[in-house]
Amino acid sequence: MHDEAAPFWPRLLARLFDLTFSLMAVVVLALLVRIVLLPHNLFISSDGEWIDIGIEVGVLLVFVGLEAVLLAKRRGRTIGMGLLGLRVVPVNPAAPGISLPVALLRSVVLYLPLVLIRVSPDTTGHDLLSWLGTAGILANLALAAARTSTHGRTIHDHLAGTRVIVDAERGTVPHRRGVDLRERSTSS
């Protein structure tokens, strides 16, 4: 396994790109729901509770679904990972790639800490769900930063049997395989 583990900062930046893209998708989806459903008073209780639940479920589905589909269909690359030259690969080199079930498991575990914090009944963050969510986020950051002992594998990587690497295909022209732009820039 000679693939280089992804450095912490590019991985974190890729995650921020992905979150930004997902939030943009949530806004578009929310606008469509508002335009289509709300004029007809569908799924609305008198206190607006159904709307709150729908928004929470919708946000989670967009984050998890978008990440899982992108990982499975773009050969282990989310949008942020693609921009920064990173890729998710199976730890087992014999595995064919990232399947949709593996990508879903990885995405659910990745976003679970955020869900725990969000569904916490205490808005001050002083309850068990908030503490568990915060601990999950901090553990993921620590594991991603600790490349020596874990090779940068986070909780969701360990549970899904994946790892994030520097993409060997980064810098190549897709329609002209074998032309490496990095070699061209260093030889000039």
178 in a structural domain: no
184 in a structural domain: no
Instruction: Give the whole-number percent of the chain exceeding pLDDT 70.
Output: 73
Report the predicted TM-score, pTM, of the whole model to 2 decimal places: 0.72
DSSP string, 142-164: HHHH-HHHHTT--HHHHHHTEEE
- Interior angle at CA 38, CA 115 and CA 64, nearest 5: 25
Mean pLDDT on 41-53: 56
134 in a structural domain: yes
Higher-scoring residue by pLDDT: 128, 187: 128
52 in a structural domain: yes
When mean pLDDT is compared over 40-49, 63-72, 150-159, the highest value belongs to 63-72
Domain membership of residue 15 as a residue range: 8-173
Task: Please answer whether residues 77 and 10 qualify as being in contact, where contact means their C-beta atoms are separated by less than 8 angstroms.
Answer: no
13's tokens:
């930046």
Integer-rounded Cα Rg, in Å, for the chain is: 19
Looking at the 3D structure of the chain, how many domains does it have?
Answer: 1
128 in a structural domain: yes
In sequence order, the 6+-apart residues with CB closer than 8 A to the CB of 141 are 12
- Looking at residue 183, its pLDDT comes to 47
Instruction: Report the distance separating Cα 120 and Cα 113, nearest Å.
Output: 11
The pLDDT confidence band at residue 172, using thresholds 50, 70 and 90, is very low
180 in a structural domain: no
When mean pLDDT is compared over 21-30, 48-57, 73-82, the highest value belongs to 73-82
Task: Please answer whether residues 80 and 87 qualify as being in contact, where contact means their C-beta atoms are separated by less than 8 angstroms.
Answer: no
140 in a structural domain: yes
145's tokens:
């930063």
Mean pLDDT on 49-64: 70
In sequence order, the 6+-apart residues with CB closer than 8 A to the CB of 174 are none
